[in-house]
Amino acid sequence: METRLAVDVGGTFTDLVAVVDGAVHVEKVASTPEEPDRAVVDGLEAVADRAPPASADYFAHGTTVATNAVLERSFAETALVTTAGFRDVLEIGRQDRPDIYELHGSKPDPVVPRDRRYEVDERVDARGEVVEPLDGDAVAALAEEIDADSVAVALLFAFENPDHEERVGESLRAAGVDSVSLSSSVLPEIREYERTLATALNAALRPTMDGYLGRLAAALDDADVAAPLRVMGSDGGVVRATDARERPVETLLSGPAAGVRGAAHVADRLDRPDALTMDMGGTSCDVSLVTDGEPLVTTEVTVGDYPVAVPTVDVHTVGAGGGSIARLDDGGALRVGPESAGADPGPVCYGRGGTEPTVTDAHCVLGRIDPAAFAGDVGGATEETAAALESLGDRLGVGPREAAAGVVRVAVADTARALRVVSVERGHDPREFSLVAFGGAGPLHAAAVAAEVGVPEVLVPRVAGVLSAFGLLVSDVTHETARSRVRPWDDVDAEDLERRFREFERAGADRVPDDLPVEHDRFLNVRYAGQSFDLRVPAPSPVDGAALSAVADRFHDRHAERYGHAASGEPLELVAVRIRTRGVVEPPDPAPPADGDADDAVRETRTVRFDADRETPVYDRGALPPGATVEGPAIVEGPDATTVVRPSDELAVADDGTLRIEVGR
């Protein structure tokens, strides 16, 4: 028996997916934000009858511990050591202000306050040469003076020559500091602010993450989970728990990255390597772009006002989810979100005391969601829901159903705008993509969003409500190493480069589990001399003179592709050497759903509002067989998400159970 377990902790629910010999089991338990590991154990218990934890061969985890710590600024007592004269780099930032028209703006508080930022006399130049040596005695004295739970060390040009940083680190450890983060290890890349910030964040998160994953590992041990704990990284690769404990800054977008991974996997299996993804939950919607089966990775994300330059799946978030509250702004325009009713009290239709109309309530009033579905909790609140939308409609001068349609239209428009940002605005034509919709509220809106953006097809994965957890099971275990090496291209020594790549490969192989086959992806970051930003170009193995000129050619091609022009005569510059080591995970192969007749899957017929009221069949998703086709309008109810097929759409069930909606107008 092969058992794979994945647990994704979200703000409201902790999702668990178990694949046992191809059979997929899903559980959702309430999250326990104070001690997130408790919900993980709860989830394991809930699924234990079908997937005994002791039988697990593989265990992967998505976590928001680091994310929440940053959002709440609950940092460990952290110190920072910098080159003399540069301790304020962390606070000055890039000297820009967040909002140009805001006269009362503020910068985020520095991760390390000034009185815990220390300086050491030393200097390395742009070529890694020591200009001013480090005074070991002074450093030892400083290490004794520093009183902090965690220390970040970020010296100028440490990515060129990490020697000084490493010596400071040794002194700190000798003085009893357990948690030391070096910039040459966390983000060995040029630009002192971004590198210092990433290092400081890493240091500030380490004690928290270390404690959390330590507790979780112990709990898993207690539950007899033999498989090693692995954690989803922000870049869409799974890392060993020990790496996550050392480098928590790489897990800031753990959950969203897992979702995109899962979506990419589902699309790829249906031969759709290019996909847009849309993960709509209760409070927000994360959208993202996948090309050639790979999520787009960026180094420009902002988490809690901090620009985090570590590679991260490029997720764009808008404040539109099922729980987003509809209101009128000062100008009388209908707005949806970013305020959310959350899980408690939740939308009005939950019947838990919510009074403000939400997107979910609008769907109830339109007949797309059956409020009785919530009756299990406290009896539903059909009348209250109608009243909330009636009140909104009164202010808009329309009836409750028109108001509800308006609320949905606004939510759809907000999401569509986000999808345009990640597609059209980045030079991708949405007509060539499929939209993978997941999260509890994603499939409700996907067809309408797709129609608005011009995407011809929507895919709703079988485990749409827990796709992030599923994504944990289909991601390779990866380790990425990069180091800035700014050199004129003509000065690049192929032999030296090859040596460096091999060094990285050896180090990387140590970071992936022994039981997985290892692959290495080599990259060089290159730019035209004089440019500030570079492109990442795949590099061959081994690197030699011919390989370098092939890389140069590929750079020119990529530049032309991305920016519309190339200058093949212009001198190039090497910026960084980068390697991604992958422990290749064989994705689980869930058994297809059972055969049957689509007509037997109809639960009921009810009146649903589209352009007009339509008598609409409601299908039980679990009973829809592969190959079935359904003309819109239709509602497909699953255990964790409801899918809307509009009158102009057509639904087909793929072999793996994915709902494929051909989007009409």
Residues in touch with another protein (CB under 8 A): 85-89, 91-97, 99-107, 109-110, 113-115, 125-126, 131, 156-157, 190-193, 331, 333, 486, 532
Alpha-carbon gap, residue 4 to 475, rounded angstroms: 12
**What crossing angle do the helices spanning 36-47 and 192-222 adopt, rounded to 10°?**
40
Question: Measured in Å, how far apart are the chain's first and last C-alpha atoms?
Answer: 47
Question: Which H, E and C letters describe 509-558, residue by residue?
Answer: HHCCCCCCCEEEEEEEEEEECCCCCCEEEEECCCCCHHHHHHHHHHHHHH
CB of 556 to another protein, least distance (A): 22
Is residue 8 helix, strand or coil? Answer: strand
Q: CB nearer to another protein: give 22 or 105.
A: 105
Q: CB nearer to another protein: give 94 or 395.
A: 94
Alpha-carbon gap, residue 428 to 274, rounded angstroms: 10
DSSP designation for 474: S
CB of 417 to another protein, least distance (A): 11
Q: CB nearer to another protein: give 49 or 532.
A: 532
Alpha-carbon gap, residue 423 to 413, rounded angstroms: 15
Alpha-carbon gap, residue 653 to 462, rounded angstroms: 10
Q: CB nearer to another protein: give 195 or 265.
A: 195
Q: CB nearer to another protein: give 334 or 387.
A: 334
Q: CB nearer to another protein: give 9 or 575.
A: 575
CB of 348 to another protein, least distance (A): 27
CB of 394 to another protein, least distance (A): 23
CB of 141 to another protein, least distance (A): 20
Residue 43 burial by Cβ neighbours in a 10 Å radius (0-12, 13-18, 19+): buried
- Helix H or strand E encompassing 82: strand 78-83
CB of 252 to another protein, least distance (A): 21
CB of 69 to another protein, least distance (A): 16
Q: CB nearer to another protein: give 156 or 220.
A: 156
Count of CB atoms situated within 10 Å of the CB of 316: 18
Alpha-carbon gap, residue 428 to 422, rounded angstroms: 8
The b/e string for 247-260 (b: 16+ C-beta within 10 A; e otherwise) is bbbbbbbbbbbbbb
CB of 126 to another protein, least distance (A): 4
Q: CB nearer to another protein: give 154 or 180.
A: 154
Alpha-carbon gap, residue 15 to 274, rounded angstroms: 26
DSSP-assigned beta bridge partners for residue 458? 435, 661
Contacts of 600 (CB under 8 A, 6+ apart): 623
Alpha-carbon gap, residue 557 to 370, rounded angstroms: 53
Q: CB nearer to another protein: give 121 or 222.
A: 121
Alpha-carbon gap, residue 654 to 629, rounded angstroms: 9
Q: CB nearer to another protein: give 126 or 328.
A: 126
CB of 96 to another protein, least distance (A): 5
CB of 21 to another protein, least distance (A): 53
Q: CB nearer to another protein: give 424 or 584.
A: 424
| Centroid of chain to Cα 455 | 22
Question: Which H, E and C letters describe 90-138, residue by residue?
Answer: HHHCCCCCCCCCCCCCCCCCCCCCHHHEEEECCEECCCCCEEECCCHHH
CB 112 within 8 A of CB 90: yes
CB of 482 to another protein, least distance (A): 15
